[in-house]
Structure 1
Amino acid sequence: MSTLSRENNATIRIAAALLLNRQGQTLLVRKRATTAFMQPGGKIEAHELAVHALARELEEELGLRIDPAQATFLGEFCAPAANEPGFVVQAQIFQLVIDADVSPAAEIEEVIWIDPGTDSDLVLAPLTRDLILPFYRASLNETA
């Protein structure tokens, strides 16, 4: 369990990625011993900028090295934490297009590429299901 407590409003600060491939699919991950798929990323340490936390987490969890300067900040989103009942995630979300192969490492058990424009039968974390994918779909509709 994290060192966060109720004293700091049960909020977990994270950096996460809307990772896209050249075919327009987005990458979701599932942590070991959980059921919900979510954006890759993780907790922001006290001394880190969100984009640097994202770069560190992507390398640890997926073996993916990114240039933080290539990450486009999409905004801050808040939702109930998928794996920590009673907590809320406050997520700084960045978009990246990648060509590299990724493989699960650290606590990640499974990775999957999905079409973000369609509803999937996967169990999705609230942040992904209710905020990030709808936000991305709306941006696709604006450019269409």
Structure 2
Amino acid sequence: MPDSQPVIRVSAVVLRDERGHFLTVRKRGTSMFMFPGGKPEHGESPAQTAIRELDEELGVTLEEDRLELIGTFSAPAANEPDHVVESVVFSHPSVPIDGVAAELEELRWLNPVRPFPQDQAKLSTKVLEHLGY
């Protein structure tokens, strides 16, 4: 990735259900699935961004002291051509998910023992590979 590409900074959260499947989401008007999360507002920490974004996108309340840092990852942005996305990625214990809100169009639970779908964002795939999948 050339250094000249603009960088989009985000926070994301890895959530698993009782079967061990990973939650991925697709934003309205896009074609790629990714972990839920988004861009920070002024003055927010990565953890605060993750908590706010999941509340807005999924209507769930995450507890900051239960967020566990997985790491910081970068990859070509899924929905912004010629950009790089850099994401601080957390995990959080499972929470009930009722559906999508805000700018989300669809959610999908990803089975980690099956091949990753072609419409999975590269950054999400990097995180899953880091986790051993």
Query: TM-score with structure 1 length normalisation?
Result: 0.84
Q: Hey, what does 1:64 align to over in structure 2? A: 60
Percent identity of paired positions between Structure 1 and Structure 2: 37
Secondary structure of 1:66 counterpart: coil
Quick one: distance in 2 between partners of 1:115 and 1:97? 17
Quick one: distance in 2 between partners of 1:97 and 1:34? 27
| Superposition deviation, residue 11 in structure 1 | 0.7
Query: TM-score with structure 2 length normalisation?
Result: 0.91
Unaligned runs of 5+ in 2: none
Q: Hey, what does 2:11 align to over in structure 1? A: 15
Superposition misfits of 4+ residues, deviation over 2 angstroms: none
1:47 aligns with 2:43: yes
> Contact between 1:32 and 1:109, CA under 8 Å: does it hold in 2?
yes
Unaligned runs of 5+ in 1: 1-7, 139-144
Quick one: distance in 2 between partners of 1:113 and 1:92? 21
Q: How many pairs are equivalent?
A: 130
Letter in 2 for 1:118: R
Q: Hey, what does 1:137 align to over in structure 2? A: 132
| Superposition deviation, residue 101 in structure 1 | 2.2
> Contact between 1:22 and 1:99, CA under 8 Å: does it hold in 2?
no
For residue 113 of structure 2, the aligned residue among 110, 113, 117 is: 117
> Contact between 1:116 and 1:136, CA under 8 Å: does it hold in 2?
no
**Richer in helix (by share):** 1
Quick one: distance in 1 between partners of 2:59 and 2:120? 23
1:98 aligns with 2:115: no
